[in-house]
């Protein structure tokens, strides 16, 4: 076998392996999933335009509502979003978002309708009246049902308090500029409510 033939064979094998790898590891694109006739209105008429059977399993009425949920999943459950290839923007009723809703929809509903239940779920604490109290080794975070929170702690020997607004069950703490203090304008975003509290106190 000549040297040129070996080179050709080697190149062919590498190209074949590359093609297999691309096929295996290719990220499924949501837009490749048939969602209708190009106008977003699939009718399943046998012309290659099928209606989306997932539409009945999600509560979203339009793309804006769907994208709000998509972004929430990507923010709160980033590993899961990557696992199921859930983009931040896309259809509000395809199989990707339907799968995410089936897994985490109850948490999304709790966050909107009962935010304290969501805080309690992620912090391991319980709801008491209109608040959830989360104590850490650095201080105490108190979350209220109006979306606001307070953190009390000792700075050297003086008691201190800071306040802000929270979302995603306390996984995101934001201190508006108007509140003043060392954290004014800052946002703490962590998968742990306790870590967010401690980081804000540092």
Mean pLDDT of the 74-98 span: 91
**Domain boundaries of the chain, sorted by first residue:** 59-113, 117-201
User: In this structure, how many other beta carbons lie within 10 angstroms of the beta carbon of residue 13?
Assistant: 10
Q: How confident is the model at residue 2 (pLDDT cuts 50, 70, 90)?
A: low
pLDDT at 39: 36
pLDDT at 7: 59
Burial 120-140 (b: 16+ CB within 10 A, else e): bbbbebebeeebbebebebbe
User: In this structure, how many other beta carbons lie within 10 angstroms of the beta carbon of residue 183?
Assistant: 21
Q: What would the pLDDT profile of 133-188 be if each residue is shown by its tens digit?
A: 999 999 999 999 888 999 999 988 899 999 998 988 898 899 988 777 889 989 99
pLDDT at 34: 38
Give, in order, the Cα–Cα distances in Å from 156 to each of 160, 161, 183, 184, 198. 10, 13, 18, 20, 15
Q: How confident is the model at residue 32 (pLDDT cuts 50, 70, 90)?
A: very low
- Residue 182, φ and ψ in degrees, nearest 5: -65, -25
Q: Which tokens belong to 127?
A: 């709801």
């Amino acid at each position: 076998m000549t040297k040129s033939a070996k080179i050709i064979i080697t190149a062919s094998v590498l190209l074949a392996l590359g093609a297999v790898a691309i096929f295996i590891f290719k990220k499924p694109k949501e837009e490749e999933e048939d969602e209708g006739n190009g106008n977003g209105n699939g009718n399943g008429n046998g012309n290659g335009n099928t209606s989306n059977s997932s539409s009945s399993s999600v509560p979203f009425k339009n793309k804006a509502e769907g994208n709000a949920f998509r972004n929430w999943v990507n923010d709160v459950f980033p590993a899961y979003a990557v696992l199921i290839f859930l983009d931040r923007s896309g259809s509000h009723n395809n199989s990707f978002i339907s799968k995410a809703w089936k897994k985490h929809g109850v948490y999304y509903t709790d966050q909107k309708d009962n935010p304290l239940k969501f805080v309690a779920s992620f912090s391991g604490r319980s709801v008491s009246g209109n608040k959830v109290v989360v104590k850490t080794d650095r201080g105490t975070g108190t979350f209220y049902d109006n979306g606001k929170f307070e953190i009390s702690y000792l700075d050297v020997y003086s008691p201190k308090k800071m306040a802000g607004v929270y979302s995603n069950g306390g996984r995101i703490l934001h201190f508006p500029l108007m509140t003043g203090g060392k954290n004014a304008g800052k946002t703490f975003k962590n998968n742990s409510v306790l870590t967010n509290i401690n980081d804000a106190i540092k």
